[in-house]
Amino acid sequence: MPPVSRLFDFIVIGGGSGGLACARRAASYGAKVALIEGSGRLGGTCVNVGCVPKKVMFNGASIMEAIEDAKHYGISVGSRSFDWGALKTARDAYVKRLNGIYETNVAKDNVEYVDGMASFVSSTEVKVNDAVLKANHILIATGGHPVIPKVEGAEHGIDSDGFFELEKQPKRVAVVGSGYIGIEIAGIFKALGSDVTVFTRTPHILRHHDSIIGETMMGEMERMGIRFEHNSSVRGITKHDGAEFPLELRWAISGSDSQLSERYDCVLWAVGRAPNTAPLNLAAVPGIQLNKTGHIVADEYQNTHVPGVYSLGDVFGKSELTPVAIAAGRRLADRLFGGPQFADSKLDYVNIPTVIFGHPTAGTAGLTEEQAREAHGSENIKVYKTRFTNMYNALTPYKPPTAMKLVVAGPEEKVVGLHIIGRGCDEILQGFGVAIKMGATKRDFDNCVAIHPTSAEEIVTMR
């Protein structure tokens, strides 16, 4: 029996943040939309194994830190015990509620949710289960997945998805990787009571961020008791069944032939992510191009090289952030179905603010100092910096730093980069992101009256 053929105006492959936003916006204009998702739950990485459950764990870790600080404010707290399983159960229930909310909203917006894996038949057709869906417009928004390194015994470790599957808290953790995912998870583990070692291939962490963030973050994580193995190259894992710490991680230090090893009960790989393209049968769409990292090439309007086929979000690979995928998806739907007033609708990928939920939190918008000097010339760049202790720690014996850097360009001192790290920086950045997007100058910042006493006031009083 041949597959059933069904016709739509728009097919969206991937029920993550970008796909959901694009599908719902398109349907709001009256388009007949099919949303295909093969995992069995809507929300994608962010809702299920990313931003949302990560922030729940971050909140739990932050509460543990606040309990420790309480005694310095004269507050007695009876117990610091922590139940990993209880937090996981509550967190998973919250995520499941969100999955249900997404399904309800999709139905309410007249988007047809198709549960199954999609594969292309042609540039206008995809096969799902026993049906072939047809549309003149097809969006690929299939997201990405964690990369597992090709070393011996790698299967004994877990990735960031596996972090959310842990039923009990490990005692001794190795985090391999020092990008924002590894740094966030390392901070959560440590604040909740695990012993943590971070393995990084270089002397630095958070290498794609401004140095003020990486250097300050590493210093504070070391103060917390997190150990770093710099310039390390992991060689493999040997599992010793029945041991308290069954995972023997082996590594070498750059420039040395000797191999080191240590035992852990959890090894977490945080060495990068790759796009989800394998099940799509892209060979059926001649002209689709992948770049050297396997992401689907598209232009600033999310058009691939094949007319009517689009790509955005993590599978597109530019600014792989949930709000970016949502914004790009909505603008694409506006352009395709919103009428002539949206003919040029597209996302501007410049000056996108982003936050690291580390311990401490950090935020960045615009160019790093190094990028700014390369783009504008060192002679045209001026940098304003400040370091201080947040007033929250006025009564605590330890004084974690807050550090801020403002990068400005040209005689008008246009703000081209803002990099902040310390308590509350995750909430501070959004408003300043608006100002930078509007083209604010240092003088504009200076002309804003400070709010006292806050950390944010330092951004408008730097000299």
pLDDT of residue 1: 56
Compute φ and ψ for 364, nearest 5 degrees.
-145, 145
Given a contact cutoff of 8 angstroms between Cβ atoms, the answer to whether 159 and 269 are in contact is: yes
pLDDT of residue 78: 84
* Whole-number Å distance between alpha carbons of 441 and 430: 17
* Whole-number Å distance between alpha carbons of 116 and 128: 6
Tell me the two tokens of residue 190: 């440590």
Question: What is the pairing mode between strands 273-275 and 144-146?
Answer: antiparallel
Name, in order, each residue with C-beta under 8 angstroms of 394's C-beta and a sequence gap of 6 or more: none
If we measure between CA atoms, which residue out of 94, 281, 286, 248 comes closest to residue 157? 248
Given a contact cutoff of 8 angstroms between Cβ atoms, the answer to whether 43 and 99 are in contact is: yes
Tell me the two tokens of residue 39: 């995992």
Place of tokens 């103060």: 223
Helix (H) or strand (E) holding 275: strand 273-275
Name, in order, each residue with C-beta under 8 angstroms of 186's C-beta and a sequence gap of 6 or more: 173, 175, 196, 198, 221, 226
Given a contact cutoff of 8 angstroms between Cβ atoms, the answer to whether 274 and 292 are in contact is: no
Residue positions annotated with a catalytic role: 452
- What does the DSSP 8-state code read for residue 449? P
pLDDT, mean over the chain: 97
Name, in order, each residue with C-beta under 8 angstroms of 112's C-beta and a sequence gap of 6 or more: 8, 32, 33, 34, 35
pLDDT of residue 455: 97
Compute φ and ψ for 411, nearest 5 degrees.
-65, -25
End-to-end CA distance of the chain, in Å? 75
HSE value, Cβ hemisphere, 13 Å, CA-based, for 346 = 13
Given a contact cutoff of 8 angstroms between Cβ atoms, the answer to whether 185 and 160 are in contact is: yes
Long-range own/partner contacts, residues 285-289 (CB < 8 A, 24 or more apart):
285/120, 285/122, 285/123, 285/309, 287/123
Residue 72: other Cβ atoms inside 10 A: 13
pLDDT of residue 324: 98
Q: SS3 for 48-92, per residue?
A: HHCHHHHHHHHHHHHHHHHHHHHHHHCCCCCCCCCCHHHHHHHHH
Tell me the two tokens of residue 375: 């783009």
Prediction pTM value = 0.96
- Which residue numbers in the chain have pLDDT < 70? 1-2
pLDDT of residue 256: 85
Tell me the two tokens of residue 47: 């809702």
